Amino acid sequence: MKIPNEVKNIIEKLKEAGFEGFIVGGCVRDLLRKKEPEDWDIATNAKPLDIQRIFPKSYYSNQFFTVTVLTESDDPRLKEIEITTFRKEAKYTDKRHPDEVKFAENLREDLARRDFTINAMAIELKEEKEKIIDPFGGKKDLEKKIIRTVGEAKKRFNEDALRMLRAIRFAVSLGENWKIEEKTAQAIKENSFWISAISKERIREELMKIIMSERAAEGIELLRTFGLLKYIIPELEEGYKVTQNKHHIYDCYEHSLRSLDYAAKRGFNKFVRLAALLHDIAKPRTKKGEGPDATFYGHEVLGAKMTAEILNRLKFPKKEIEKIVKLVRYHLFYYNVGEVSESAVRRLLRKVGKENIEELLQVRMADRIGSGVPKAEPYKLRHLRYLIEKVSQDPISVKMLKVNGYDVMRILKIKPGPKVGEVLDILLGEVLEDPKKNEKEFLEKEIERLGKLEDEELKRLAQKARQERERLEMKRDEMTKRKYWVI
């Protein structure tokens, strides 16, 4: 077992001061399953004031007896280590907060207040040797991949209903084949209603851990079968067994889950995952007709509205909501090689935002794979990526010059006419050949020099410069095509 020196040192210091110190919680679980822990927690019989005295570089900011100790480590997981005084939670009346938090007598009492057996183990350091303290059979459950509450499930969920959601989060995020033990599962089904007593922020945090796991889709299905989904995103359940039409083999709900599944397996970000899950959320409400010819007109518009409602309800940040709503609103964008004009692509970019376009394409891939079609249409999407880059490039034009038509007219004392354009075209040709020449002073001198040339000569030079520019534009386009493999 690899326990970092920072952690060992802290426990050593607690002992030197006459206290106990144990490694506890999620990190013990992760060590035993040979995963690098995300953070390290230490439990002790020292009181917060003692801890602060022993570790001057520390801060104490909440009322739950947790002191954060700052270490010298560069590793973000070890920079701050939390030390918590043994505690127990006394009497719950509102299904979410203990009425009071009290110091506990000993480690065992502290472990007993933790949610699941796999999270209720501790490590004791004894002369460089480690001893697992496991009063509730966490090690055995970990080996058998079982989520089981510490103590009576119903009672534990009544104390804090969020634990029901955590059970599902651990079941999908710890790896393959995890099961929720029978009594624990039964207690969730019987008490699912109480999840509505939990703050939306806490629900959102656990929900996002489910969504960010590779088995996100299984997690949502577990939420449904355990009766929790209807208190979190009831709109998703509206699509359960609602059939689509001849273009779809899956019902609305299953399609949403399969889209999410693809996004999760591909490791797409949270915005794409949420948009994949919610993109067809309004299909049940917009469905017209039955059977192979059913339609869902406007589901992307209503869907965007419903998505905003859902995410607002779950207290997502405003910026994130805006982004996901756009992905849902435009998930239907039409694209076919040769059929969609550059200006249509420009319009799409303007509406979705350039910064969201890659994610929109990913939502589209998830949508397609989630429909059961065999591939995500790689050529078509590559071609669209090519067009997006093409229309996003700055045009090669005289606007790039540090002088403009007014400068030409002023210096040559001429009125608007073809000559102005000719001079600018020639200057652009020179600058394209040597970008260093794009300096106001140099270009003004060039304007004077060109002004002295015969009209015929000027026309000829301008003609040549324009041809050269077209050649450059074609070359640039070819390079963009190559980049996206669409040649």
| Chain contacts with ligand ATP (rule: CB under 6 A) | 25-26, 38, 114-115, 119-120, 160, 162-163
Q: Residue 256's binding partner, choosing from Mg ion, ligand ATP, none, with beta-carbon cut-off 5 to 8 A by kind?
A: none
Q: How far is the CB of 111 from ligand ATP (least distance, A)?
A: 8
Nearer Cβ to Mg ion (84/191): 84
**CA 289/CA 272 separation, integer angstroms:** 30
Q: Residue 21's binding partner, choosing from ligand ATP, Mg ion, none, with beta-carbon cut-off 5 to 8 A by kind?
A: none
Q: How far is the CB of 41 from Mg ion (least distance, A)?
A: 7
Q: How far is the CB of 119 from Mg ion (least distance, A)?
A: 9
Q: What is the DSSP string of 303-320?
A: HHHHHHHHHHHTT--HHH
Nearer Cβ to ligand ATP (79/390): 79
**CA 132/CA 125 separation, integer angstroms:** 9
Size of the site for Mg ion (CB under 5 A): 1
Q: Tokens 């540090």 — which residue?
A: 402
Contacting residues for 403 by C-beta, under 8 A, at least 6 apart: 424, 427, 440, 443, 444, 447
**CA 215/CA 173 separation, integer angstroms:** 7
Q: Residue 331's binding partner, choosing from Mg ion, ligand ATP, none, with beta-carbon cut-off 5 to 8 A by kind?
A: none
Q: Residue 224's binding partner, choosing from ligand ATP, Mg ion, none, with beta-carbon cut-off 5 to 8 A by kind?
A: none
Give the sign of the dihedral formed by CA 196, CA 199, CA 200, CA 202: negative
Nearer Cβ to ligand ATP (114/329): 114
DSSP label at residue 336: -
Contacting residues for 438 by C-beta, under 8 A, at least 6 apart: 400, 401, 402, 431
Contacting residues for 268 by C-beta, under 8 A, at least 6 apart: 276, 359, 362, 366
Nearer Cβ to ligand ATP (209/248): 209
Burial 247-257 (b: 16+ CB within 10 A, else e): ebebbbbbbbb
Q: How far is the CB of 30 from ligand ATP (least distance, A)?
A: 7
Q: How far is the CB of 305 from ligand ATP (least distance, A)?
A: 33
Helices (H), 38-181: 48-54, 107-112, 138-144, 153-159, 162-173
Nearer Cβ to ligand ATP (26/370): 26
Binding mask 24-53 for Mg ion (x = CB under 5 A): --x---------------------------
Helices (H), 266-394: 270-278, 283-286, 299-313, 318-329, 342-352, 357-370, 378-392
**What beta strand segments (E) does 174-314 contain?**
179-180
Which region among 18-26, 77-85, 129-137, 412-420 touches Mg ion (by CB under 5 A)?
Answer: 18-26
**CA 324/CA 84 separation, integer angstroms:** 38
Nearer Cβ to Mg ion (172/236): 172
Q: How far is CA 322 from the centre of its chain?
A: 14
Nearer Cβ to ligand ATP (24/428): 24
Q: How far is the CB of 41 from ligand ATP (least distance, A)?
A: 6
Strand partners, 126: 129
Contacting residues for 256 by C-beta, under 8 A, at least 6 apart: 236, 239, 276, 277, 278, 279, 280, 281, 370
Nearer Cβ to Mg ion (114/326): 114
Q: Residue 219's binding partner, choosing from Mg ion, ligand ATP, none, with beta-carbon cut-off 5 to 8 A by kind?
A: none
Q: Residue 163's binding partner, choosing from Mg ion, ligand ATP, none, with beta-carbon cut-off 5 to 8 A by kind?
A: ligand ATP
Instruction: Assign 3-class secondary structure to 381-400.
Output: HHHHHHHHHHHHCCCCCHHH
Q: How far is the CB of 36 from ligand ATP (least distance, A)?
A: 10
Coil vs helix vs strand at 440 = helix
Q: How far is the CB of 38 from Mg ion (least distance, A)?
A: 6
Q: How far is the CB of 262 from ligand ATP (least distance, A)?
A: 24
Q: How far is the CB of 104 from Mg ion (least distance, A)?
A: 20
**CA 167/CA 89 separation, integer angstroms:** 19
Q: Residue 160's binding partner, choosing from ligand ATP, Mg ion, none, with beta-carbon cut-off 5 to 8 A by kind?
A: ligand ATP
Strand partners, 41: 24, 82
Residue nearest Mg ion (C-beta atom): 26
Nearer Cβ to ligand ATP (39/389): 39
Nearer Cβ to Mg ion (65/484): 65
Q: Which of residues 135-154 bind Mg ion (CB under 5 A)?
A: none
Q: Is 201 exposed, middle or buried (0-12, 13-18, 19+ CB in 10 A)?
A: exposed
Q: How far is the CB of 30 from Mg ion (least distance, A)?
A: 9
Q: Residue 119's binding partner, choosing from Mg ion, ligand ATP, none, with beta-carbon cut-off 5 to 8 A by kind?
A: ligand ATP
Q: Residue 470's binding partner, choosing from ligand ATP, Mg ion, none, with beta-carbon cut-off 5 to 8 A by kind?
A: none
Nearer Cβ to ligand ATP (160/261): 160
Q: Residue 117's binding partner, choosing from ligand ATP, Mg ion, none, with beta-carbon cut-off 5 to 8 A by kind?
A: none
Which residues of this chain interact with Mg ion, rule CB under 5 A? 26
